Structure 1
Amino acid sequence: MANAKALSILLLTLLALSMLATGVLASSSYGPGSLKSSQCLGQCTRRCSKTQYHKPCMFFCQKCCRKCLCVPPGFYGNKQVCPCYNNWKTKEGGPKCP
């Protein structure tokens, strides 16, 4: 009886750890809603690190990140991963998000 109880606790612990690990992995992936607003500064710093227009890139990236909770991977392009980020346009029809 004691072995069955210990085995049950072990299995529940492993299940809980598995769910926690899955949640951590999911939060580091890309896609709509994959970020918390507190992560925007770090992701935009990465995204804008290689542009000569750092200040405007950071301003618009953070604005887009707060709205979309997503920043595409890499330094340029890959916007299809974040549809909200990709489809937000200026009044003139150009891309709003870097």
Structure 2
Amino acid sequence: MAERNATIASSVGLHARPAGLFIAAVNKQSVTVTISKDGSAPINAASILSIMSLGAAHGDVVTLAAEGDGAEAALAELVALLETDLDAVE
């Protein structure tokens, strides 16, 4: 299983618009992706309810995990997305 950490760059954290953009990117991946924060149990990264319940704020570190062919590439893309201020992206 591949794992990567990412620091949330969006000023409002992983809420509303940034969460929607992240979930859209997760759904484009060929592997199932989970996300966790502060050692919590991993949750489905493609679920808006799960993402919103995570409570990931600006500066928080989250852990993404995936398994299978393409896992490393998928995580690299998703980490890059989370480490971008998605509030500034038009």
Q: State TM-score, norm by structure 1.
A: 0.30
* Higher share in helix: 1
Bigger RCO of structures 1 and 2 (CA < 8 A, at least 6 apart): 2
Q: Which has the larger radius of gyration?
A: 1
Q: State TM-score, norm by structure 2.
A: 0.32
